[in-house]
Amino acid sequence: MYNPYQIVNNIYYVGVNDRHKMFFENMIPLPNGVSYNSYLIVDEKVVLIDTVDTAFCEQFLRQIKEILGNRVVDYVVVDHMEPDHSASLLALIREYPEIQIVGNVKTISMITGFYDICKGFYEVGDGDTLSIGQHQLQFYLTPMVHWPEVMMTYDVTDKILFSADAFGCFGTLDGAVVDAKLQSLDKYWHEMYRYYANIVGKYGSAVQQAFKKLATLSIETIASTHGPIWTSNRLPQVMSVYDKLSRYEGEKGVVVVYGSMYGHTEEMAETVARGIVENGIPVVLHDVSKSHSADILADIFKYKGLIIGSPTYCNGLYPEIASLINKLEVRGVKNRIFGAFGSFTWAGTSVKNLNLFAEKMGWELIGTVEQKQSLSLENSKSLLELCNSMSLSIK
């Protein structure tokens, strides 16, 4: 028997938890799982906000029916078309043949392309409203947060923003769905950085545009498609995290990332980490052969300073370092203070390539150190000078 969770005023949570999937988008580890959030508004008309991943379709429909009984769902609002939120549309139509699908012109085109659904659409534009009884819904187009069709739905009556993937995070909802009822929120703050860096990261300017569009709204609750429902006490923190990340505003701290085959570059990385800490700056150290890129990216988005170390490999960068900087380029990370170090045995090119990367990104380059073979006393001092320069820039 499903125990429905009423958020407020006949608005119910009908989402699901996925504790089985290993990788989100087949790339990003999910150590804490993920929720797929959907919401049901029961008024003179019944409206469903988004659906869930098709793997949970039967559970999803059962939850809806246990709330509605013999009533039907009149509308389903599709705020975001990614399959983890839209893939249950076909099953929903089979269950409720007269249901109308609410979406903007880009959403409707995608629905036809994904699912061969060609009718039953209720098209909305920016600022359009839909009255369903006591509740009035208003729609705001927020393209590229993080797909081109994304929109958000605002319940004018209860001041709830159904925000699609914005303000979301990884992590299952364990026993409760509203932030105030959850035992601890620690994992969700960490997962918010991982989620933003890996999913939304490239689209900072679009997130800022969304902030401007939503600025006039009185928002008391944010109901995202992933993670907890955020209520008034924590809304400032949630919005602040997304605001800072979308402006690429790093916190005081340095991420040291390195690759090493035989230990020489790792020795340099250890020296750098100690030097940064001795200057009173927080440091996070990642070995690219051990840390997943999803976690490294989250820390790079979080902190202002970045120092990358790589041995020369086949006259280029260590492959996992090369892969990481490609991910940083794709996301267009801005406003970082950068340093580089590297080692080689007979011909060095890694530091040169890292310098070119920093130049391409438009970052402030504060210094580089290159070592032939094992670390010398002279270059140990040079690494500490690099740490001093980085620390001064961070402070």
23 conformational bin, left if phi > 0, alpha if psi -120 to 50, beta if neither:
beta
pLDDT digits (tens, 9 = 90+) for 176-207: 999 999 988 999 999 999 999 999 999 999 99
Mean pLDDT of the region 111-132: 97
CA angle 373, 379, 385 (to 5 degrees): 150
Query: What would the two tokens of residue 346 be?
Result: 């007979």
Q: Is the pTM of this model over 0.75?
A: yes
pLDDT digits (tens, 9 = 90+) for 237-262: 999 999 999 999 999 999 999 999 99
Distance CA 154, CA 161 (A): 5
Using 50, 70 and 90 to split pLDDT, how confident is the model at 2? Answer: low
Confidence (pLDDT) at 120: 96
Confidence check: pLDDT of 173 > 90: yes
Confidence (pLDDT) at 290: 97
Confidence check: pLDDT of 146 > 90: yes
State the pairing for strand pair 221-223/160-162. Answer: parallel
pLDDT digits (tens, 9 = 90+) for 94-112: 999 999 999 999 999 999 9
Cβ-contact 297, 197 below 8 angstroms:
yes
Mean pLDDT of the region 286-299: 98
Q: Which domains, from first to last, does the chain contain? A: 5-246 (3.60.15.10), 251-390 (3.40.50.360)
Using 50, 70 and 90 to split pLDDT, how confident is the model at 371? Answer: confident
Distance CA 390, CA 278 (A): 12
Residues whose CB is less than 8 angstroms from the CB of residue 59 and which lie 6 or more positions away in sequence, other chains included: 16
CA angle 238, 26, 291 (to 5 degrees): 70
Amino acid sitting at position 12: Y
Residues whose CB is less than 8 angstroms from the CB of residue 377 and which lie 6 or more positions away in sequence, other chains included: none
